[in-house]
């Protein structure tokens, strides 16, 4: 499909974050296990480091203590001087950035493990359209990790790096695994097992890449964020209509103009009033009520991805 493969340097420093949100239990449970016994993570070319991102929130089994850690990695927060009055998560964001995301300590790859209460399957969430390494990793997971009962979806929130407030922004390359449905504070064995498979498969990919395996060009479907949709609200700001049963659990299912999306407590139905087919995601996500998001609309786009190979010494000459 394309000539001239993209060359990337080897991936030698890898961190796996769990507990960025302290009540998303798959990542919390896996990272706690790997901190006790990291042998499963060992690869020929690197040793990944597991890390509990928000230990106080994990201890209390809550999403966060003062503010959402996964919205705390803005340039403003990371560059500002620390104050006693700062939210705990701002202080923690600076600690994590100092250890994994700055100067000579910058990590090559960040895995960030999350759960969602929405029916999102295994969502491979990226924040950079131009991260070719993570695109190839996502393709590898889609084709190599099996388990078709929880398929992988390639998901893009395309954000300029200067505006990116997410934890995964601190590494050179990154991938967020967003698996669901799983209630907050609950461990589901099937979701936990699937996340474990995906992390190990992702580490295998990076190990193969480091050993010189070339990955061919390909074409893939990507669900790219268009807009966030709030619930209907009354004059006092209270939610006045809820997700319609015809939309509930239909993440990634095409939403057509005229389809029902909300219903009131008295049975009045509100319909989709757009003029194109879109793909709803994070439908009725519990953690997004506070963010005034009922669901996130995406478009499905096709992307041609160039081949990938390990950067050679000649590349520097």
**Do residues 306 and 217 lie in contact, with contact meaning Cβ atoms separated by under 8 Å?**
yes
- How far apart (Å, rounded) are the C-alpha atoms in residues 63 and 299? 29
Cβ atoms 15, 52 nearer than 8 A: no
User: Which residues are annotated binding-site positions for Zn(2+)?
Assistant: 21, 24, 114
**Residue-level pLDDT at 312:** 80
Domains of the chain: residue spans and CATH: 9-221+304-315 (3.40.630.10)
DSSP strands (E only) in the chain: 6-8, 14-18, 49-52, 109-115, 121-126, 152-156, 173-180, 218-229, 242-243, 260-263, 269-271, 279-281, 295-305, 308-310
Radius of gyration of the chain (CA): 20
> pTM of the prediction?
0.95
**Contact call for residues 168 and 176 (beta carbons, < 8 A):** yes
Q: How far is CA 10 from CA 2, 66, 124, in A?
A: 22, 37, 22
- Enter the tokens of residue 184: 């907050």
The Cα–Cα gap between 7 and 31 comes to 31
pLDDT band at 84 (very low <50, low <70, confident <90, very high): confident
Q: Of residues 300 and 149, which shows the higher confidence score?
A: 300
Judged against a pLDDT cut of 70, whether residue 316 lies above it is answered with no
Percent of the chain with pLDDT over 70: 96
Which pLDDT does position 317 carry in this prediction? Answer: 41
Q: What residues act catalytically?
A: 178
């Amino acid at each position: 499909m394309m000539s001239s493969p993209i060359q990337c340097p080897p991936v030698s420093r890898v961190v796996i974050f769990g507990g960025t949100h302290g009540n998303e239990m798959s990542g919390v449970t896996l990272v706690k296990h790997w901190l006790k016994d990291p042998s499963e993570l060992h690869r020929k070319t690197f040793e990944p480091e597991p890390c509990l991102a928000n230990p106080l929130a994990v201890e209390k089994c809550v999403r966060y203590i003062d503010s959402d850690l996964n919205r705390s990695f803005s340039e403003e927060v990371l560059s500002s001087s620390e104050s006693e009055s700062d939210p705990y998560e701002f202080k923690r964001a600076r600690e994590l950035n100092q250890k994994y995301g700055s100067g000579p300590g910058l990590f090559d790859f960040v895995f960030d493990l999350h759960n969602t209460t929405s029916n999102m399957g295994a969502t491979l969430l990226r924040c950079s359209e131009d991260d070719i390494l993570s695109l190839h990793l996502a393709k590898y997971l889609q084709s190599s990790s099996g388990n078709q009962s929880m398929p992988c979806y390639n998901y893009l929130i395309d954000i300029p790096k200067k505006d990116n407030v997410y934890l995964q922004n601190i590494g050179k390359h990154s991938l967020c695994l967003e698996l669901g449905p799983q209630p907050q504070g609950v461990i589901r064995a099937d979701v936990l097992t699937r996340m474990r498979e995906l992390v190990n498969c992702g580490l295998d990919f990076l190990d193969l890449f480091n050993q010189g395996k070339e990955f061919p060009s390909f074409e893939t479907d990507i669900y790219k964020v268009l807009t966030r949709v709030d619930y209907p609200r009354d004059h006092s700001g209270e939610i006045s209509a809820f997700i319609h049963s015809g939309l509930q659990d239909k993440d990634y299912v095409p939403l057509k103009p005229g389809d029902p999306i909300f219903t009131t407590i008295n049975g009045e139905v509100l319909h989709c009033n757009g003029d194109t087919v879109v793909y709803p995601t994070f439908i009725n996500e519990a953690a997004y009520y506070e963010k005034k998001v009922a669901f996130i609309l995406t478009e499905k786009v096709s992307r041609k991805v160039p081949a990938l190979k390990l950067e050679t010494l000649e590349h520097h000459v």
